[in-house]
Amino acid sequence: MRYTREMARSGYVHGEPDDDEVARLVRQARFVAAFSLDTFEAPPGARVLDVGTGVGAMAAQLVRLCPGITLTGVDVSGTQIARARVVHPIATYVQADGASLPFESGSFDRVHMSWVLEHVTDPLPILHEIRRVLTTDGVAHLSEVDHHTLVVEPPIDELRETMAIMNDVQRAIGGDPFVGAKLESLAREAGFTRVSTRRVLLRGDDHDRQVREELHAQFAGLCESLGDALEPADMERARRAAALLRARGDGTLLEYQPVVVRAFP
């Protein structure tokens, strides 16, 4: 492993939510909603919790797709919660650890969580809590990364090296960039009785230039968001990877498979 906890320069790979980071998360949420929330449904009046809401980018997508829901967003970071209140004032925001939710058992009809477990040392207490706060006929809707599934053709060395470093940093600070592959068994271990898993194949190539452009922008943004977490030389390489991604055109391919799980208590 190239990075240790001491070498990793911050406890969160994507850094503080400045304007650029908010713009990245909003763009990501719009793209992600199209494939990850197509199976999310909640009737008007449903009580919905978004765990690890960040700046509320996915929370805004939940409200757009399911108007009339009552939405609560929680995040362990006070900075994220403060930004969410300003940028997406569509929910009640509460600062709390997902592993210790300040809500009564059975108080939500739906729980949504996206791109959070990759950042935590122990996903199980969070999944236990999600199950506890759901009603017995509720649904948890979870999306997670699996960086093993990234395919780039022709390869970009700078991106391969940057992703390897990012994965090392993620693990050094206690996270798991491959958690998507384990999500179904983790949900079962947390006591969910029925779990359905979908791997979404996102392929951007000459047949789907729009998806390719969006995937390139997403991964370029990811590289650029690593700022505080990396050593300067590695950050310079990450910036080169981002520039090369943004310059890609015909004859190139980028493929990625995030994992979407629906879990029933």
Q: Which residues bind ligand SAM (CB under 6 A)?
A: 14, 25, 29, 52-54, 57-58, 75-77, 80, 97-99, 114-116, 119-120
Residue number, nearest CB to ligand SAM:
54
Query: Cβ 247 to ligand SAM, closest distance in Å?
Result: 26
Pairing of the two strands 47-51 and 134-144:
unpaired
Residue 45, classed as helix, strand or coil, is coil
**Residue of 117, 121, 92, 85 whose CA lies nearest to 107:** 92
**Would you say 52 or 248 has its CB closer to ligand SAM?**
52
CB under 8 A, 24+ apart: contacts of 28-31: 28/57, 28/218, 28/221, 29/57, 29/58, 29/60, 29/61, 30/61, 31/214, 31/218
Query: Cβ 24 to ligand SAM, closest distance in Å?
Result: 9
**Would you say 112 or 216 has its CB closer to ligand SAM?**
112
Query: Cβ 225 to ligand SAM, closest distance in Å?
Result: 9
Number of Cβ within a 10 Å radius of residue 233 = 8
**Would you say 97 or 231 has its CB closer to ligand SAM?**
97
**Would you say 110 or 119 has its CB closer to ligand SAM?**
119
Query: Cβ 120 to ligand SAM, closest distance in Å?
Result: 5
The strands making up 253-256's β-sheet, listed across from edge to edge, are: 151-153, 253-256, 202-204
Cα 135 to the chain's mean position, in Å?
24
Query: Cβ 77 to ligand SAM, closest distance in Å?
Result: 4
Number of Cβ within a 10 Å radius of residue 105 = 12
**Would you say 19 or 137 has its CB closer to ligand SAM?**
19
